[in-house]
């Protein structure tokens, strides 16, 4: 039994939470937990049917739940812009933006609608653009938080500024680790900028350890390999509900501070209760944070507004 559960979150009544990748796994679990504590949850999903199914499940479990789905494909900047516009029209503020959507290791190189390497484009650039475009909505909230879901895999990651899109040399594992390192660096740089501006915005990161979700199936590996990997995760890892806990903790608890990274407290952070997690030395390279920010602005065309509020 976890020592910390969603029942330990402060009352979320009146808070508005946007969750990317809310259609399965950790995002769907987080949505359920937050709606159960009273938050109005906006599920950002790329499939209306999958989003509707999750929303219906949440309403069946929590009769008063306020949950709505809105289409968002993180692998297309036009979709990101359209989602941000719709959200700004639909809600007065965003108390939490949980940047959770993610695409696991892709064995073969593929690109997004805009021609970015698919993992870097979906996992990092899409969220970089979305957060910047939603910033005015976030800054309308009294104590806004951005939570980036990274991974243990960030530790293997390096940002290859000379070949960010893996055009010269592609390796799926390297591309995934790079994208998750980028998620963490983005959260840390956003926090640095928010502090420098004296902003109320809190930017943090979290990771789920290793959890049974739709993640392995999304790699496109053969069915036998997916089944074997999921069986292994079932033994050594944790379920999606527990995998959601570090992100929920980072999104809601009063003791959380900007620039922190939360994950499970067990052996090698694979499973356990939410606790401060280890950040790799590479992820602490502030010059790389700023370089990644600049290149992300150039690639997405999204410039952040002033963070002071």
Ligand X SMILES: NC(=O)c1ccc[n+]([C@@H]2O[C@H](COP(=O)([O-])OP(=O)(O)OC[C@H]3O[C@@H](n4cnc5c(N)ncnc54)[C@H](OP(=O)(O)O)[C@@H]3O)[C@@H](O)[C@H]2O)c1
Question: By CB under 6 A, is residue 173 in contact with ligand X?
Answer: no
Q: Which stretch binds ligand X (CB under 6 A): 3-11, 31-39, 46-54, 160-168?
A: 46-54
Provide the minimum distance between the beta carbon of 72 and ligand X in the complex, in angstroms, as a whole number: 6
Question: By CB under 6 A, is residue 300 in contact with ligand X?
Answer: no
Report d(CA 61, CA 192) in Å as an integer: 39
Question: By CB under 6 A, is residue 134 in contact with ligand X?
Answer: no
User: Per the residue annotation, which of 170, 176, 261, 304 is the catalytic one?
Assistant: 176
Judge contact between 149 and 99, C-beta under 8 A.
yes
Question: By CB under 6 A, is residue 238 in contact with ligand X?
Answer: no
Question: By CB under 6 A, is residue 149 in contact with ligand X?
Answer: yes
Question: By CB under 6 A, is residue 100 in contact with ligand X?
Answer: yes
Q: How large is the C-alpha radius of gyration of the chain?
A: 18
Question: By CB under 6 A, is residue 101 in contact with ligand X?
Answer: yes
Catalytic annotation present for 176? yes
- C-beta closer to ligand X: residue 133 or 307: 133
Report d(CA 281, CA 114) in Å as an integer: 31
Query: Using CB atoms within 10 A of its CB, is residue 53 exposed (0-12), middle (13-18) or buried (19+)?
Result: middle
Question: By CB under 6 A, is residue 214 in contact with ligand X?
Answer: yes
Judge contact between 186 and 296, C-beta under 8 A.
yes
Provide the minimum distance between the beta carbon of 11 and ligand X in the complex, in angstroms, as a whole number: 25
Question: By CB under 6 A, is residue 250 in contact with ligand X?
Answer: no
Count other Cβ atoms within 10 Å, centred on residue 234.
Answer: 12
Give the one residue of 50, 62, 282, 291 binding ligand X; rule: CB under 6 A.
50
Give the one residue of 6, 9, 18, 21 binding ligand X; rule: CB under 6 A.
21
Report d(CA 102, CA 205) in Å as an integer: 14
Question: By CB under 6 A, is residue 266 in contact with ligand X?
Answer: no
Report d(CA 164, CA 154) in Å as an integer: 15
Judge contact between 54 and 15, C-beta under 8 A.
no
Query: Using CB atoms within 10 A of its CB, is residue 45 exposed (0-12), middle (13-18) or buried (19+)?
Result: buried
Active site residues: 176
- Interface residues with ligand X (CB under 6 A) are 21, 23-27, 46-47, 50, 72-75, 100-103, 122, 149, 151, 207-208, 210-211, 213-215, 218, 243
């Amino acid at each position: 039994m976890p020592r910390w559960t969603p029942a330990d979150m402060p009352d979320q009544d009146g808070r508005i939470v946007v969750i990317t990748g809310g259609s399965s796994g950790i995002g769907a679990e987080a949505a359920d937990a937050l709606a159960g504590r009273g938050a109005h949850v906006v599920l950002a999903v790329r499939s209306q049917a999958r989003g509707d199914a999750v929303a219906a499940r949440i309403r069946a479990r929590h009769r008063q739940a306020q949950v709505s789905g809105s289409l968002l494909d993180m692998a297309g900047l036009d979709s990101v812009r359209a989602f941000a516009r719709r959200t700004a029209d639909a809600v007065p503020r965003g108390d939490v933006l949980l940047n959770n959507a993610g695409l696991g290791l892709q064995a073969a190189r593929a690109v997004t609608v805009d021609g970015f390497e698919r993992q870097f484009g979906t996992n990092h650039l899409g969220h970089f653009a979305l957060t910047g475009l939603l910033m005015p909505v976030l800054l309308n909230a009294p104590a806004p938080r951005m939570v980036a879901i990274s991974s243990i895999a960030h530790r293997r990651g390096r940002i290859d500024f000379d070949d960010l899109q893996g055009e010269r040399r592609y390796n799926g594992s390297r591309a995934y680790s790079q994208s998750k390192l980028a998620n963490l660096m983005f959260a840390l740089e956003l926090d640095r900028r928010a502090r420098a501006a004296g902003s109320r915005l809190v930017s943090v990161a979290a990771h789920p350890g290793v959890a049974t979700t739709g993640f392995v199936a999304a790699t496109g590996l053969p069915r036998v390999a997916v089944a074997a990997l999921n069986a292994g995760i079932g033994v050594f890892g944790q379920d999606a509900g527990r995998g959601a806990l570090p992100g929920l903790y980072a999104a809601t608890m009063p003791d959380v501070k900007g620039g922190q990274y939360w994950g499970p407290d067990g052996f090698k952070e694979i499973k356990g209760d939410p606790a401060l997690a280890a950040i790799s030395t590479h992820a602490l390279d502030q010059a790389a944070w700023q370089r990644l920010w600049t290149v992300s602005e150039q690639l997405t065309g999204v410039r952040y507004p002033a963070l002071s509020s």
